[in-house]
Amino acid sequence: MSEQKVWNKTQRDTQERMSHASQYFKPGTKVFEAKDAVAILEAVIRSGDRVNIEGNNQKQADFLSDCLCKLDPARVNKLHMVQSSVPLASHLQAFELGIAEKLDFAYAGPQGGAVAKAIASGKLKLGAIHTYLELFARYFMDLTPRVSLICAYEADKDGNLYTGFNTEDTPLITEATKFKGGIVIAQVNKIVDKVQRVDIPGEWVDGVVQSPKPFFIEPLFTRDPALITDTHILMAMMALKGIYAEYGIKRLNHGIGFNTSAIELILPTYGEELGLKGKICTNFALNPHPTLIPAIESGWVESIHCFGGELGMAEYAAARPDIFFIGPDGSMRSNRAYSQTAGHYAIDMFIGGTLQIDKYGNSSTATAGRVAGFGGAPNMGCDAHGRRHSTPAWMKCGNEFTDQQNFLGDVPRGKRLVVQMQETFQEKLVPSFVEKLDAWKLAEQAELDLPPVMVYSDDITHILTEEGIAYLHRCKGLDQRMAAIRAVAGYTSIGLQAKPEETRALREAGIFKTPEDLGVDRSRANRSLLAAKSIKELVDWSGGLYNPPARFRNW
């Protein structure tokens, strides 16, 4: 007789852990008090667990993260943190204190320097730096969390959660954890009798606590139009004429910089004048950018699905249900996993900025001493090789992709437009074009297997600087690509290597275009083209529905 096999070890272990926690719950509920939060975590987390602290690039389970740091490292240690972002000081403190040991993540933002230091000091073992989708995929493969500490706006006594406008990663984390027998603890801003809408069913949640303060949330996607320069506007004009109009880009994602804000703000002015309404920018995978309000109000946009929310935009989005994804309760629901999927498979163009582009066209936001991570950009800044549906923009770009026939012979295939929009110099005269990416140095310091490249050269189709546009996918071979990059690189050391006769040939071949080649009038590139010149004017456009955070108010 063989021994009886046990198939539910995790579930039994969960039950055992929860039995230690149950004393802290209000009778008949899943609710416990903030003062007992550390004790609860002590009960449910064991050394060596894979733990997720919900840290998106916007909302943060900051209270539970603080509580985790209060555990006794002698009792709880060697935790393997698996979470999309680590932007809080407390995320890194858990490593400093010896509670956590290993990290798999996607984005570090402001803690990029601290991550690099913790790696160097040996207190943090790095698993890998991922993109969001890539890490989410691993939650369902080999990095499933044992315990997840999540956050929501509201909970009821049964653990039903309302995550609303800022739903972001929560459903995915919860599903990966709970359906593999794990434990889910939520911090909420408010315990209520009845949640506004059930975003996460109570059955999937083991405990809820009202945090002493509402969860921290970063207004990452708010750009003040007052800071948009004439150069941003010149580049935005070139983008509209030379790329958006040229390819008829309807489905897209915008990066978070001032360049794309400038594009959003000249749609109702310059875009209207070019007769592009309805022909471009109709469908977005995009956070609710305040600078898109004038274009939405002017009838440019048909739909926007959001990765996350944006502080101050909830009321506006809720009042525009034809545009945003609004629940039956009347409030928006974001979802990073779905929006990233849309951004990977269903957009025809990604356009955004970077920090460094090398002479081959690889780009990176990594700098020496900072492990910033990837976030979502690489999944949008690439051609989705699993894509099989066609659109005119995708087909046109594919037809122009000269080198493609070297691999496919006579079979046609489209190509996503991936546009790097970057001034040749950044603040303090730091060049954007470099011989070798700082990512190499970082890889050496942090002992990474490969330099963290945000967008690889073979995915980039266009580089747009104040000098003009390089249509890289129209090039034959790497040598011509490098010449086209030199042509747009201005007075950087890369740009100074450009040969005038070579640049002339590229212009004749339609591979490099200056503002004049594109018919863009430089004298019109000034702030009078902006549909809104200040945050206040965005509020006015929104009819008072946009409620900007205090730090953006100049009144």
Partner 1 sequence: MSKWQTLQTRSFLESTARQRAQGLVDEGSFTELVGPTERFISPHLPELGEAVEFDDGVVTGIGLLGKHPAIVISQEGRFIGGAVGEVGGAKMVGALKLAQSIYEKLQAENPAEVQARRPIVLISFETGGVRLHEANAGLLAHAEVMDQIQNLRHKVPVVSVVGSKIGCFGGMGFVAAATDVIVMSEFSRIGLTGPEVIEQEMGRAEFDASDRALVFRTTGGKHKYIMGDCNYLVPDSIAAFRQQAIAIAALPMDAIENLRRIGSRSAIERQMQLVAMAAEVSPTDAKDMWKAIGNENPQQLIDANYTDFMAQAKRLTPAA
Give me the residues that bind partner 1 (CB under 8 A), please: 226, 527-528, 533-534, 536, 550-555
125/527 with CB nearer partner 1: 527
Determine the Cα–Cα distance for residues 123 and 125; give it in Å rounded to an integer: 7
- Cα–Cα distance list, 472 to 41, 142, 360, 401, 485 (Å): 53, 38, 10, 9, 8
Give the residue with the Cβ less far from partner 1, 226 or 245: 226
Instruction: Select from 427, 424, 446 the least CA-distant residue to 373.
Output: 446
Smallest distance, Å, CB 217 to partner 1?
Answer: 16
The one-letter code for the residue type at 333 is R
What is the nearest approach in angstroms of partner 1 to the Cβ of residue 258?
Answer: 16
Q: Which residues contact 548 (CB under 8 A, 6 or more apart)?
A: 222, 290, 311, 312, 535, 538, 539
Q: How far is it, in rounded angstroms, from Cα 188 to Cα 54? A: 12
- Of 93 and 547, the one with the shorter C-beta distance to partner 1 is 547
Q: Which amino acid is at 310?
A: E
Q: In whole angstroms, how close is the CB of 112 to partner 1 at the nearest point? A: 20
- The residue (of 204 and 425) whose beta carbon lies closer to partner 1 is 425
Q: What are the start-end ranges of the H helices in 454-524?
A: 477-488, 500-508
Helix, strand or coil, per DSSP, at residue 320? coil
Report the residue number, 2 or 554, with the smaller CB distance to partner 1: 554
Contact 42, 64 (CB under 8 A): no
Nearer to partner 1, 440 or 552 (CB): 552
Task: Considering the complex, state which of residue 277 and residue 527 has its C-beta at the smaller distance from partner 1.
Answer: 527
Q: Which is nearer to partner 1, 19 or 528 (CB)?
A: 528
Q: How far is the CB of 551 from partner 1 (least distance, A)?
A: 5
DSSP 8-state class, residue 52: E
Comparing CA positions, the residue from 262, 327, 256 lying closest to residue 287 is 256
> Least Å distance between CB 89 and partner 1?
16
CA distance 23 to 258: 52
The H or E element spanning position 144 is none
State how far the Cα of 361 lies from the Cα of 470, in Å rounded to an integer: 11
Distance of closest approach, residue 550 Cβ to partner 1, in angstroms: 4
Is the Cβ of residue 208 or residue 530 nearer to partner 1 in the bound state?
530
How many other C-beta atoms lie within 10 A of the C-beta of residue 391?
Answer: 18
Alpha-carbon distance 157 to 66, whole Å? 23
- Give least dist CB 70 to partner 1, A: 25
Query: Nearest distance from residue 527's CB to partner 1, in Å?
Result: 6
Contacts of 538 (CB under 8 A, 6+ apart): 225, 290, 291, 293, 294, 532, 546, 548
Residue 540 CB, nearest approach to partner 1 (Å): 8
